[in-house]
Amino acid sequence: MALAESLTEATGTPMEPETGGILTIDLAAIAANWNTLKRQVLTAECAAVVKANGYGLGLEQVTTTLANAGCTTFFVADLAEARRLRACARDATIYVLDGSTPEGFAAFVALNVRPVINSLTELAEWDAFVAAEKWRGGAALQVDTGINRLGISPEEAAAFAPRTGTENHGITLLMSHLACAEIPDHPLTQSQIKLFRELRMLYRGIPASFANSSGIYLGDTAVYDLVRPGAALYGVNPTPGRPNPMRSVVELAGRILQVRNVAEGQTVGYGATWTAKRASRVVVVALGYADGVPRAASGTDSGAGGVTIVSGKRCPVVGRISMDLACVDVTDLPAGSVHRGDYATFIGAHAGVDDFAAAAGTIGYEVLTRLSARSYRVYRGLEQT
């Protein structure tokens, strides 16, 4: 009943979802998290990474919320995301992290967005294009300081640096990416900090960006002119092992389809991986890995899985999570307290996205970005946007 009431409150209309899952997204919490990060960096600009459909939560809704909160610079993965973002943030500065090929350069001009240049080949192609088109929209230059993914080498960056002293050099941002920002004392973190500081001195006058969500909490050594939080905006803890400074953003609940009795010694689910050690009551919930509940969160005889909330109490997932269904042991709840049509909450106040991810042996990033569009979505905090 409480969940049905919350639906009425969030949408203004009582509504029975036609799907088995309800994903509630707190837009006000996203705005609050951005403001928390902004206060953490004081004088630096706080941008927002909204790639992967706003980390699975809806690029348009997330972007509109952050733009209304004051964010003016956004990062996406590709041009398709940039196009969607531009439609709801007309004046924002937009960077495309994956860069582009020459076939896509014209779209950068049409959308007024900026590529992140990740190789000397890309740089040469981009230079030729902007020279021919006489476009001055700018681009970011990414340097690989140790993650060994995208970016030009430090040696290439040093050789290129003198060009930034010329007119119309076209570089609007110097950036790099931390590999182990969540581990402050990791040797690679310290090595990357030192190397980027040295490169930054060669690019005087060019804004620099180094810190991601966890990098923001490394302090001044990683914070330059612009920070690029992503996962922290959506409730993932940027400081693992310490209290989460971010507000929880998502709640995922599934409708209970059936309450059934399982005799001692009987098994539940595919593969017979969980065996009832006593006479048990098990509920079948209309959520599965097609909805973004990781199969690895299954509960088996050899190990615990995810934990849900049913009737206000913590109850374990038992048996393998299948495509559309998960089973939850409610034996310890009072008889008659759980009914068909009630809900089991998989992610929420009892267990944030990081906790649920840990039970599945993964990370909050993956859980968020795999949340399916199949669940009925409720956006809270719309009045904030």
**Per-residue confidence band for 384, with pLDDT thresholds at 50, 70 and 90:** very low
The tens digit of pLDDT for each residue in 217-237 reads 998 889 999 999 999 999 999
| Burial class, 8, CB count within 10 angstroms (exposed 0-12 / middle 13-18 / buried 19+) | exposed
Q: Residue 385: its pLDDT value, please?
A: 39
Q: Are 263 and 229 in a shared domain?
A: no
Residue 164 domain-assigned (yes or no): yes
The tens digit of pLDDT for each residue in 89-122 reads 999 999 999 988 889 999 999 999 999 999 999 9
Of 186, 207, 234, which marks where a domain is finished? 234
Q: Residue 351: its pLDDT value, please?
A: 79
Question: If residue 280 lies in a helix (H) or strand (E), which one and from where to where?
Answer: strand 280-285
Contact 246, 231 (CB under 8 A): no
In the numeric block, the tokens 């299954």 are attached to 298
Of 206, 234, 262, which marks where a domain is finished? 234
Q: What amino acid occupies position 167?
A: E
Active site residue 277: no
**Per-residue confidence band for 2, with pLDDT thresholds at 50, 70 and 90:** very low
- Among residues 51, 95, 203, 379, which one is catalytic? 51
Q: Are 179 and 57 in a shared domain?
A: yes
Residue 16 domain-assigned (yes or no): no
**Per-residue confidence band for 337, with pLDDT thresholds at 50, 70 and 90:** very high
How far apart (Å, rounded) are the C-alpha atoms in residues 346 and 45?
35
Of 187, 205, 234, which marks where a domain is finished? 234
Residue 17 domain-assigned (yes or no): no
Q: Are 186 and 105 in a shared domain?
A: yes
Q: Are 187 and 255 in a shared domain?
A: no
Percent of the residues in the chain that have a pLDDT greater than 70, as a whole number: 95
Tell me, what CATH number does 364's domain have? Answer: 2.40.37.10
Q: Are 193 and 262 in a shared domain?
A: no
- Among residues 217, 224, 270, 376, which one is catalytic? 270
Segment 262-269 mean pLDDT: 96
Predicted TM-score of the model (pTM): 0.91
Q: Residue 268: its pLDDT value, please?
A: 96
Tell me, what CATH number does 168's domain have? Answer: 3.20.20.10
Q: Are 257 and 155 in a shared domain?
A: no
The tens digit of pLDDT for each residue in 70-98 reads 999 999 999 999 999 999 999 999 999 99
The tens digit of pLDDT for each residue in 164-207 reads 877 778 899 999 999 999 988 899 999 999 999 999 999 988 99
Q: Residue 3 above 80 pLDDT?
A: no
Q: What amino acid occupies position 337?
A: S
Contact 299, 277 (CB under 8 A): no
Residue 240 domain-assigned (yes or no): no
Segment 303-331 mean pLDDT: 93
Q: Are 171 and 256 in a shared domain?
A: no
Residue 10 domain-assigned (yes or no): no
Mean pLDDT of the chain: 91
Range of the domain at 369: 250-384
**Per-residue confidence band for 4, with pLDDT thresholds at 50, 70 and 90:** very low
Q: Are 164 and 62 in a shared domain?
A: yes
Question: If residue 259 lies in a helix (H) or strand (E), which one and from where to where?
Answer: strand 250-262
Q: Residue 383: its pLDDT value, please?
A: 52
Q: Residue 377 above 60 pLDDT?
A: yes
How far apart (Å, rounded) are the C-alpha atoms in residues 364 and 326?
20
Active site residue 51: yes
Structure tokens at 347: 């992610």
Residue 30 domain-assigned (yes or no): no
Residue 6 domain-assigned (yes or no): no
Q: Are 346 and 276 in a shared domain?
A: yes
Q: Return the DSSP state at 143.
A: B
Q: Which residues pair with 262 in a beta bridge?
A: 280
Structure tokens at 212: 């991601």
State the angle between helix axes of 79-88 and 59-69 in degrees (0 to 180), rounded to the nearest 10. Answer: 50
Q: Are 85 and 185 in a shared domain?
A: yes
Q: Residue 48: its pLDDT value, please?
A: 98
Give one DSSP letter per residue of 30-90, joined into a string.
HHHHHHHHHHHHTTSEE-EE-HHHHHTT-HHHHHHHHHHHT--EEEESSHHHHHHHHHH-T
Q: Which ranges of the chain would DSSP assign to H, the alpha helix?
A: 2-11, 27-41, 51-55, 59-69, 79-88, 105-111, 120-133, 154-160, 187-202, 213-216, 353-359, 364-369
Residue 296 domain-assigned (yes or no): yes
Q: Nearest 5°: phi and psi at 120?
A: -65, -30
Q: Are 183 and 262 in a shared domain?
A: no
Counted domains in the chain: 2
Percent of the residues in the chain that have a pLDDT greater than 90, as a whole number: 78
For the chain, the residue count is 385
Q: Are 227 and 272 in a shared domain?
A: no
